[in-house]
Each structure stands twice: as structure tokens, then as C-alpha cells.
Chains A and B, each alone.
Chain A
Amino acid sequence: MWAQIVKVAIGIWLMMAPAVLGYGNPAMTNDRIVGPLCAAFGIISCWEVTRGARWVHVPVGLWLLAAPWLLGYSNVGPRINDMAWGAVLLGLSTIKGSVSSQYGGGWKAVWG
């Protein structure tokens, strides 16, 4: 659960970062799109039954690692910001956290 809450915090930080650190486009728009996505799926993955939503943070993290190069960030600040948090997100995505209730086989029982 703590890993999911940290991902929510990272998302909120990305939303605030362009104003706090004072950087512009293309990093600004990128972070203002990625931030809400990151926070939203962090909130959803707080619940045990929707913990699988945490996998969304894998492509989000990979994108944050790649975006400074693909979008051509000119400043070092937003480049380090995106890449560092992208790497942290990738690491946090591997943490499932404790699941204390039982769900009759979960979603696998439906699709499997």
C-alpha cells in the first residue's frame, strides 16, 4: 500500500513541478499529462482488488525515462526530474504490497 501512496505523491509532484521548478514546454505539458495519470492509477491501485492497476506505472515510468530524449528537453532540471521519478516508478511498480483479503481467485478466475 505504501508503494501505491508514494506513486500518488509522485503524480501530484509532477503536476506541480513545472510551476515549482519553473520550466516550460515540452516538459511542462508532458508532466501535466503524465502526473494526473500517475496519481489516478496510484489511487486505484491502493485497493487490493484493483492492485493490478499498478502495472500502468511501468509504461508511465518507461515514458518518463524516454520523454526527455524523444521530446528534446533543453534544460537539465526537467530532464533529471522526469528520469529520476520514472526510474523510481519502475522500481515501485514491482512492489505488490500486502493483500489480506481473499477474492475467490481474483480477476484470473473471470478471464482464465
Chain B
Amino acid sequence: MRIADREHEGAEQWNVPPGWSYNPASWSERLPIVGLAVLGFVIAGYLSLYQWRLIPHVWEPFFGDGSRIILNSPISRYLPIPDAALGALGYILDAIGGLVGGRDRWRTMPWIVLLFGMAVGPLGLVSLLLVIAQPVFFGAWCTLCLSSAVISMLMIGPAMDEVLASLQYLKRVVAAGGSWWRTFWGLKSSQLGA
């Protein structure tokens, strides 16, 4: 956020997509999402330590045995690594996807913006399905699993503005006779002026 403040005003204005009132790829827009991803990683990492039995107990302030039941459920062990560890990997991907590229990445690197959007969206969807599964299949709730789900839901909205800016840019390039493919990968010769 402070980084954005220090930016030269004229240079930052050049990064605002046409018809937009702000730049969705500015650091003040992206760093809060990265912060949420790091928080999600800490929570999911802690839960996977318990699932791997590297720590013997798991913190559960509200639902008694809930976390223990959920974190040892058949669904959580369905894949070769525990589901919280998969969540932690997802959060790392979200954080990297939020950090890579400059303040103009919505037009210089659409691929990373769309990859970021696709990492944030499905992670949120899986969290939602797991929230539904907790009481329906196991009759239990897990406080930190719910917290992680809330975090992944909070990331979706703020991540999508950049995705929208990139999709609009790709559409403009194609309408102007440019190559969707070259623009998607950010190859220099394909770029329009902002």
C-alpha cells in the first residue's frame, strides 16, 4: 500500500485500464490478497502438521471433538497427502500468483493474472464444499477449517478485478487484429498501448 503511494502519479495513471477509475494491478490492490493467502497458508500448514501427527493436538475452541473428527475423516485422507496440506499448497500458489509481475501486469502478463484467478476461484470452491461436508457427512465442525474457508472466500472478489482487466485487454487486442495467444503470454510485439 505504501509502495503505491510512492509511485509517480503520471506513471501510475498510465497503468489504469481504459474506462477504469483505478489500477487493479497496483500493489495496494494486490498485497492485501497476498496477506490473506499467507494467513491461509499458516492456518492450513498448522492443520496439516496435525494431520501428519507432527503435533499431537489441534486447537479447537468451540466444537469439542469437532476438529479432531474432521481432520481425521475419510475425505481428508482421500488423496495421498492430507487435505490441509493441499490447501497450504493452494495458498502458496495464491500468494505467488499475487506477487509475480509489475503494476502493469494486467496487460503485460495476462497469463499470470488468469492463473492467479484460477488458483483463487477453485480453492474457494473446494473450501466451500468441505464446509458443507463437515456437518452433513461427519456431524462436526472445525473452527480453523471454517476460518480457512472464510479466508479463501474473501480472496475471490478482490482477485477478480485484475482478471476482468486482463480479459478486457485481450478482447481489445483481438478486436484490433492482434494475436490473443501472443498477448496472453505477454510477448512484446503483440501489445497495444494501454
Contacts and interface: CB of A to CB of B under 8 A. Distances in A.
Interface residues of A, number: 24
A46 interface: yes
Contacts of A50: 156-157, 160
B101 interface: no
Contact of A40 (B124, B161, B165): B124
A101 interface: yes
Interface string A14-53: 0100000000000001001100110110011111011000
A95 B81 CA distance: 43
Given A33-B132, A40-B124, A110-B167, A104 B19 contact: yes
Interface in B126-164: 128, 131-132, 135-136, 149-150, 153-154, 156-158, 160-161, 164
Interface class of chain B by DSSP: helix
A50 B18 CA distance: 19
Nearest to A31: B135
A70 interface: no
B168 interface: yes
Interface class of chain A by DSSP: helix
Interface string B90-133: 00000000000000000000000000000000001000100110
A7 B68 CA distance: 30
A101 B167 contact: no
A102 B18 CA distance: 10
A44 B128 contact: no
B17 interface: yes
B22 interface: yes
A50 B167 CA distance: 14
Contacts of B153: 39-40, 43-44
A24 B194 CA distance: 57
B189 interface: no
- Nearest 7 pairs of A and B residues by beta carbon: A47-B157, A104-B19, A102-B21, A49-B161, A43-B153, A110-B167, A36-B131
20 contacts: A29-B136, A40-B124, A40-B131, A40-B149, A43-B154, A43-B156, A44-B124, A47-B157, A47-B158, A49-B157, A49-B161, A50-B157, A103-B20, A103-B161, A105-B19, A105-B168, A107-B164, A109-B19, A110-B167, A110-B168
